[in-house]
Structure 1
């Protein structure tokens, strides 16, 4: 069975330890349910005081610390660099980027591992997320077009074959929480993966646990997501179509009074 390397970060000062514990507990449960699963979590602790006790973490979690706080993209890139330098991700292994407030329901990681093991062409798999994830005995997955990747791929829900890790490179550090533009970093990474992967599959079900998508956040994340899509709009007709579609979505937000016209124009200029 392929091994998993998961990259995550948490802000120790935020006091969200119950969320992090839930995520860690879900991975521990997956390891216990299927002893053939080899799962490693690389965890970057931000705003971490010198006396913070890391001994309580299980031995399959490898921690590192940052005194202050960095952006989500920068944190992931730091973890990626460490994993590549220490050869922690093999060509046939699986890697992903769970947020510290997501969790994996029973049997999901085992099913994802089986999907990659049974299809050597599969290099990018993703699903939806929700507050009440439901996992069946078998994953139902289909090939997808680019727009589905843009609409549904999330750092909480996408997994990649290890062969892609060096080819995809870093997350864009101008995008994401704590960066110049909120959001869009996972979308941009997923678009690159879609064009690079030999095969991409999507399970159209909320299989990963996370708070439900909030449509009220669309204006906040619009500039980052528009830049992510714009960066790849010339790679195919589907990319250009996705870009035009996103412009229309933003225009609709302006018409409905959910985004200021100035913010819309600024987003286009910064894309």
Structure 2
């Protein structure tokens, strides 16, 4: 089974170096790395030159995560497409295990960060909200061909949730995607402004709820959760309020 790994990168060297080193250690070797460079210098070329054993192709894109992935999509040709972040690290046998899972006939697999739920599930429009993060998603190319481009109104730096939108569209196209908690990808935590992240991610979720015409009961549930968080988690009340405000704002746009 062949893999194309689409890596959008900007402003990072050491992190990209760690990712590429983890790819060099993969026990499954049939893969390419499509590095979409959004820098204005040659830092990525210098990193790639230190990993000659990798089958890597460098592409260029203006800033924007979804925009970068869309630049790469016309270049994919493998059986399976994945979207690792430039600062994540693949376990040595990750591609081998994903290939074995997909060989059972699945259209896609979604994994988790170490602290996510350990309950396996078939992805649906209802349950994917906390089971979808881009650097753990692997999709067959025919699914990617059917779904097409990422929504460039979603995705970093100004937004998020592009992978949720993409999976909703994949499910709508009939894809069978499993959330498998044995697929774990390490992604380093970084200091963040929780209030700003809550507002940004909340707005993205609101936009997705409206775009995909979720029923009122689902919209209500997605608003009640952060509202309840204000009362039940007072230490992070500002985060929950920002999330609630973001979801309302995104839904109305």
TM-score bin, normalised by smaller chain: 0.7 to 0.9
Q: CA RMSD in A?
A: 2.9
In the TM superposition, what whole-angstrom CA distance separates every residue of 1:171-197 from its partner, at most 9, and x where no partner exists?
A: 110111134xx1111111111122224
Q: Is the CA contact (8 Å cut-off) linking 1:9 and 1:100 kept in structure 2? A: yes
Is it true that 1:75 corresponds to 2:68 in the alignment? yes
In the TM superposition, what whole-angstrom CA distance separates every residue of 1:134-178 from its partner, at most 9, and x where no partner exists?
A: xxxxxx954243333121211111111111121111111011113
State the distance in 2 between where 1:78 and 1:112 align: 25
In the TM superposition, what whole-angstrom CA distance separates every residue of 1:235-270 from its partner, at most 9, and x where no partner exists?
A: xx6xx5433322223444666343357655423311
1:94–1:130 Cα change, 3 Å: same
Q: Is the CA contact (8 Å cut-off) linking 1:150 and 1:191 kept in structure 2? A: no
Given the alignment, which residue of 82, 102, 108 partners 1:116? 102
Is it true that 1:208 corresponds to 2:185 in the alignment? yes
Q: TM (normalized to structure 1)? A: 0.77
Given the alignment, which residue of 17, 21, 27 partners 1:25? 21
Q: Is the CA contact (8 Å cut-off) linking 2:136 and 2:183 kept in structure 1? A: no
State the distance in 1 between where 2:230 and 2:249 align: 13
Q: For residues 115-264 of structure 1, what are the structure 2 equivalents within 5 Å?
A: 115-117=101-103, 119-120=104-105, 122-130=106-114, 141-179=120-158, 182-205=159-182, 207-211=184-188, 216=194, 217-234=197-214, 241-252=217-228, 256-258=237-239, 259=241, 263=246
Q: TM (normalized to structure 2)? A: 0.82
State the distance in 2 between where 1:82 and 1:156 align: 19
Q: Is the CA contact (8 Å cut-off) linking 2:66 and 2:150 kept in structure 1? A: yes
Match of 1:56 in 2: 50
Q: CA offset at residue 62 of structure 1? A: 0.5
Given the alignment, which residue of 60, 65, 76 partners 2:60? 65
Q: Is the CA contact (8 Å cut-off) linking 1:144 and 1:201 kept in structure 2? A: yes
In the TM superposition, what whole-angstrom CA distance separates every residue of 1:55-78 from its partner, at most 9, and x where no partner exists?
A: 434350111234xx4211101001
Q: Secondary structure at the match of 1:209?
A: coil
State the distance in 2 between where 1:102 and 1:178 align: 17
Q: Secondary structure at the match of 2:185?
A: strand
Match of 2:234 in 1: none
1:158–1:242 Cα change, 3 Å: farther
State the distance in 2 between where 1:219 and 1:243 align: 17
Q: Secondary structure at the match of 1:27?
A: helix
1:264–1:116 Cα change, 3 Å: closer
Q: Which runs of 5+ in 2 are unaligned?
A: 232-236
**Residues paired across the two proteins, number:** 239
